[in-house]
Structure 1
Amino acid sequence: MTAAERVWERMQDVLGRHDRRKAVTEALGLSFIKIKALRRLASGPLTLADLAERLNTDRPYVTLVVDDLEHRGLVSRTVHPADRRRKLVAVTPAGAEAAATAERILKEPPASLAALDADELAELDRLLTKLTTTA
């Protein structure tokens, strides 16, 4: 195994152990795709087509996702002001609160990362920056 393969395996292990998706789905009682939809809609209303594009999925599936979110009172649909044939989907106050909760959970660093000292965090940040700018 090369050094790069070993490091890649460790990175995957770290990310896998600290996958926040399970925590957020359990906290909100929603599938991760529904949470992703709420997070995308939190920045403003979207048409179903736009939401499907941002979620990288098809419109019929997004319709099912939105139907459930609407049933739960987390989103609402209104007529698009420029085209009455289209609907805009927006988060309700409860949906905005759920999206904010999801953001908090997903952004919470694992304890092992938070335990690193300032120099270690700076070095890790430098290396990750290098990886993301040269990829």
Structure 2
Amino acid sequence: MTEAERVWALMQDLVLHRHDRRKAVTEALGLSFVKTKALRRLAPGPLTLGELAELLHTDRPYTTIVVDDLEQRGLVSRTVHPDDRRRRLVAVTPAGAEAAAAAGRLLSEPPPFLAALDGDELAELGRLLTKLDGAG
């Protein structure tokens, strides 16, 4: 195993296994993560089903199923698109906006291992992550 592979495995274990915030979000909201993700994508403003499907990286039929469930729960609503009556816009309701905000708060809370690092360590980690982000 190369050093890059070892470090990548450590990063995956930290983020995807030991400190996966998706589980906390799904348990807190009682929604699958894709439904939570849909609410978060819709929170800034209404989207068509096609636009939402693209942002979720899902196909339109599956996105329709997701939106149907969110609509039944009172978290989103559909309206006629003002420029094309054949299309519908999906928007969060006030309850959907609150659920999206709650998910955002849970997802942005740093895990204890990160909060335990001192300022210099956080700065170095931030510098390295910024460097990696610029490499892609």
TM-score range, shorter chain: over 0.9
Asked whether 1:106 is paired with 2:133, we answer: no
Partner secondary structure for residue 89 of structure 1 = strand
Q: Could you state the TM-score of these two structures normalised by the residue count of structure 1?
A: 0.97
Match of residue 56 from structure 2: 55
Asked whether 1:89 is paired with 2:90, we answer: yes
Shift of 1:118: 0.3
Write the deviation string for residues 98-129 of structure 1: whole angstroms up to 9, x where unpaired: 00000000111100000100000000011111
Identity among equivalent pairs (%):
78
Match of residue 77 from structure 1: 78
Q: Give the 4+ runs in structure 1 shifted more than 4 A.
A: none
- CA–CA separation in structure 2 for the residues paired with 1:4 and 1:53: 32
Shift of 1:2: 2.4
Structure 1 unaligned blocks of 5 or more: none
Structure 2 unaligned blocks of 5 or more: none
- The count of aligned residue pairs is 135
Write the deviation string for residues 41-98 of structure 1: whole angstroms up to 9, x where unpaired: 0010001111111111111111110000000000000111111111100000000000
Coordinate RMSD, CA, aligned: 0.8
Q: Could you state the TM-score of these two structures normalised by the residue count of structure 2?
A: 0.96
